[in-house]
Structure 1
Amino acid sequence: MKLGIMGTNWITDAFVEGALNSKEWELTAVYSRTLEKAYAFGEKYKVENYFDDIELMAASDVIDAVYIASPNAMHYEHALQFLRHKKHVIVEKPIFSTVAELEDAHKVAKENGVYLFEAARHIQEPNFKILQDSIQKVGKLHGATLAYMNYSSRYDNVLAGEEPNIFSLKFSGGSLVDLGVYPMYTAVALFGVPEKATYFATKLRTGVDGGGPVIFEYPDFTVTILHAKMSQSFLPSEIYGEKGTLVINPLTGIKEIKYIDNHTKETEDLAMPTIPNDMEFEATEFARIIAEQDTLAYEDLEDLSKQVLQISNDLRHQNGIWYKVEQ
């Protein structure tokens, strides 16, 4: 399948590498605001088509699908341009700023007979599937702690008085949508939508959140989510119940899943060996869904994406965080 890309940062490079490793995709076009940047990115992949005009790329026949990794606030506008030209669209998480944008974009995708995906890569990992299948081992659930805290070098820019995109209301940034999205996806994929969600955000002078604990309340247990871009944590994640505990490390690119029995204290290693670039799995799954027109799998991903975005929106608003596109 012919793939074009928007955005030439490290995450795009990683996705392209994973897509090519899957053998399901070929990189045929690169967009950047300047052709110089587009050439610089695409040369090593021997790409033949370069664009500095989004509409021209969207209307061309050199791509079947596009991967979008532009600033968060621009995802919606960029996705619509490609969807209207009947191109499949893969958007790096967070897919959009609001649920209204998501619903409208999916409507446009359906009208044009194409697919719209959120690239939340970790839920496609084989070890995540193993984790899903292993939940029953802990017995009656008592709760979980899901941790993903990673100090951002761009937080140094915030401390220096600057406002990088990922810490800007104008560009729909903040820790919750950048890192918190991973444990939120994990919780909703494993346990469903919580009855109540509460966020104790640390707000930065730029107006977005730098991190903080999130509590998901379910009928019989709670899930604590720890995320931040202004701090670093080395904690594993855990799911605990009457029979035992599952220890997961790290939460994305899972390398270790251990089940520890409450009574015997015996440990069972459940994880399978990993590969260098786990984006290969989502690239493979997206290509499969498109090729097989697997409507059920697609709708499951659509629902999950909407559920996580709705929770994210609600948690931001609890803390008075409203993006420019919402104002």
Structure 2
Amino acid sequence: MIRFGVVGTNWITERFIAAGRQHEDFKVTAVYSRSDEKGQAFTKKHQLQLFFTDINEMANHDEIDAVYIASPNALHAEQALSFMENGKHVLCEKPFASTSMEVSKMIEKAETKGVVLMEAMKSTFMPNFLTVKENLHKIGPVRSYFSSSCRYSPFYDDLKNGSLPNLFNPALSGGALMDLGVYTIAPLVALFGRPASIQTTGTILESDVDGQGHMLLDYEEVKASVMFSCITNSYLPTEIIGEKGTIVIHHISSPKKAEIHYPDGTSEDISRQQEYDPMYYEIAEFIQLIQTNKQQSSINTWENSIITMDILDQARRQMGVDIN
């Protein structure tokens, strides 16, 4: 049984606990919150043993084996380093950190302390992404990749009304690319690795973060194009286009269906049944790594996390976002 602590009391932490409880070796014992009131309510709701308002006290506690970090982006690295320094395994939400330099420090700490460190990019573990990887050969030489992750955020209305939500706060490493665009980049990196070059344009909001953008990534043989936005909606699927066919992935952030369309007009449904909550699969991988004494995933590798963060760094600089 792996005893988890969770950092944060937001909706994603709620989903994490619900998904984790589908796994026989998962147990959540503790929560950290900056708010005593929210933390007490969360503890009671989920029947937890421990509640902390001091992150360092939590990191030192013996009743915690691992931690799930779902705090604002800018806090990921600092909190992960604290937990790993105290021998705790870390599953950290996407994006892994604020910059690739922070990611490198996290990996170095994991290596030094001998703990598991993994980015919680759920989509790359899900059955309908794994089936894409296994069937990629059927479409021949891949020539193009297109993906879109655009969803109008209600927090944009708050921004326009004068407040500064976390999503659009530069001090917290906010912005559309970090929130939604990463969902288009991580699968691309998982399939094709590091691009030779990228070109990015975007719309910078009054809070000095990106509200939306477009990116071109050159893999020499493969040309990739992605769109991301928190201020508009898009309903387009992801396409991987090869000379012998096209794979269509529905909902790239949480793949629900995948199919191949062939030049002769026929199609093949390569979808797999999803038995568990979308977040279950990353949790199962993380628990298995702990139980088998492996420090990093063979799917969400440290290298893939570094490449993804490098792309996010470069893209934000090209859009004019200050990441320092």
Give yes or no for contact 1:3–1:26 (8 Å, CA) kept in 2.
yes
Q: Does the alignment pair 1:192 with 2:212?
A: no
Aligned residue type for 2:28: L
Q: SS of the residue aligned with 1:201?
A: strand
Q: Give the structure 1 partner of residue 273 of structure 2.
A: 273
Aligned to 2:203: 202
Q: CA deviation at 1:139?
A: 0.8
Among all aligned residue pairs of Structure 1 and Structure 2, give the percentage whose two residues are the same amino acid: 36
1:169 aligns with 2:157: no
Q: Comparing 90-99 with 287-296, which one deviates more in the overlay?
A: 287-296
Kept after mapping to 2: 8 A contact 1:28/1:47: yes
**What does the per-residue CA deviation read over 1:59-96, in whole Å, with 9 as the maximum and x for residues that have no partner?**
11010011111111111111111111110111111111
Name the structure 1 match of 2:241.
Answer: 240
Write out aligned runs for 1:177-188 (5 A): 177-188=178-189
Q: Give the structure 2 partner of residue 283 of structure 1.
A: 283
Question: Which aligned segments of 4 or more residues in structure 1 are displaced greater than 4 angstroms?
Answer: none
How far the C-alpha of 1:206 sits from its partner, in A, is 0.7
In structure 2, the CA distance between the partners of 1:20 and 1:228, relative to structure 1 (3 Å rule), is same
Instruction: Give the distance between the partners of 1:10 and 1:23, measured in 2 at CA.
Output: 23
2:39 maps to which residue? 38
TM-score, normalising length: structure 2: 0.96
Partner of 2:294: 294
- Extract unaligned runs of 5+ from structure 2: none
SS of 1:225's partner is strand
Distance 2:143 2:202 in 1: 25
- Equivalent residues in 2 for 1:18-57 (5 A)? 18-57=19-58
Instruction: Decide whether aligned partners of structure 1 residues 300 and 31 sit closer, same or farther in structure 2, where only a CA change above 3 A counts.
Output: closer
1:39 deviates by 2.1
- The answer to whether the 8 A contact 1:215-1:225 is kept is yes
Aligned residue number for residue 112 of structure 2: 111
CA drift at 1:276: 5.8
Distance change (3 Å), C-alpha of 1:223 and 1:234: same
Q: Are 2:317 and 1:304 equivalent residues in the alignment? A: no
C-alpha distance in structure 2 between counterparts of 1:238 and 1:300, whole Å:
21
Report if the CA contact (8 A) 1:11-1:69 is conserved: yes
Equivalent position SS for 2:220: coil
CA contact (8 A) 2:118 2:297 kept: no
Q: Deviations over 1:90-109 (max 9, x none)?
A: 11111111111111122122
| CA–CA distance in structure 2, aligned partners of residues 131 and 39 of structure 1 | 43
Once the two structures are superposed, what CA deviation does each residue of 1:252-283 show, in whole Å capped at 9, x if it has no partner?
A: 221111111112x1111110122462100000
Q: Secondary structure at the match of 1:170?
A: helix
RMSD: 1.4
Match of 1:144 in 2: 145
Distance in 2 (CA, whole Å) between partners of 1:65 and 1:120 is 17
Aligned-partner Cα distance in 1 for 2:224–2:298: 27
- CA 118–295 in structure 1, closer or farther in 2 if over 3 Å, else same: closer
1:4 is paired with a residue whose SS is strand
**Contact 1:216/1:222, CA 8 A, preserved across alignment:** yes
Give the whole-Å Cα distance in 2 for the aligned partners of 1:50 and 1:188: 37
Q: How many residues are aligned here?
A: 323
Listed as ranges, the gaps of 5+ residues in structure 1 are: none
Q: Given the two structures, how large is their TM-score scaled by the length of structure 1?
A: 0.95
Contact 2:19 2:276 in 1 (8 A): no
CA distance in 1, matches of 2:251, 2:93: 20
Cα distance between partner residues in 2 of 1:49 and 1:140: 53
Do the aligned partners of 1:289 and 1:298 also contact (CA within 8 Å) in 2?
A: no
